Homo-oligomer: A and B are copies of this chain.
């Protein structure tokens, strides 16, 4: 029960592995249905597996009516808004195993743009098909509730550091720990981070300028709390970072 999906679409890049389906937030909508005794596999009616996306490609844009919800199966996505000057504001990131667009179920239109960072891939659940299937299989609704609340909890932790409006140093510490935790849930690595995200995107998300972010990276490295090698970040002093993050 590890890798499903079409093998020929699988990435060869070792840094861009597909997440295991049993580590994916979409699982409640995929797995159980396959194993129950329906005449045909119900998931096929609403689920498309591992669709490749190019870097910079948008899954959807803000205010588009919802048509599907997605789970990242490899790579990274950024969630963005554009202000009235058409400047981009990054409001979050989604990594392999996490959901995108699930929070559009109510107003029925997406609340942000979802853009691939680097080559990525997603699994896609068609919403109207899903709703039809929910009529047939009541248990599917419970799975949906579970999935919604699960992802909502991840989104919350992502915001908490930002909301606390702390020093730039403490913001970065919290950010690194958050990413490390979310990534480790899927790829096992604990203190080493492959940051696929550019400094610009991180700075934008944290509400800092790229220069400030760069200075903080240097500072934390000089103090030997982290080791920076381009996009590869080592978390050395986990405890001190945690303390910093908690203000």
CA distance A138 to B106 in the complex (A): 19
Contact B83 A164 (CB under 8 A): yes
A7 partner residues in chain B, CB cutoff 8 A: none
CA distance A135 to B150 in the complex (A): 21
Nearest chain B CB to A149's CB is how many angstroms away?
Answer: 3
A247, CB-defined interface residue at 8 Å = yes
Residue of B nearest to A247 (CB): B83
Interface majority SS (helix, strand, loop, mixed), chain A: helix
Contact A162 B162 (CB under 8 A): yes
- Which residues in window 141-195 of A have CB below 8 A to B? 141-142, 144-146, 148-150, 152-153, 156, 159-160, 162-165
- How often does this chain occur in the complex, in copies? 2
B83, B89, B148, B207: which contacts A145 (Cβ < 8 A)?
Answer: B148
Residue of B nearest to A106 (CB): B149
CA distance A189 to B107 in the complex (A): 23
CA distance A111 to B160 in the complex (A): 10
Contact B163 A105 (CB under 8 A): no
A84, CB-defined interface residue at 8 Å = yes
Residue of B nearest to A150 (CB): B106
Q: Residues of A with Cβ closer than 8 Å to B?
A: 81, 83-85, 87, 89, 91, 103, 105-107, 111, 134, 138, 141-142, 144-146, 148-150, 152-153, 156, 159-160, 162-165, 206-207, 243, 246-247
7 contacts between A and B (CB under 8 A): A81-B164, A103-B152, A106-B150, A111-B156, A141-B141, A148-B149, A152-B152
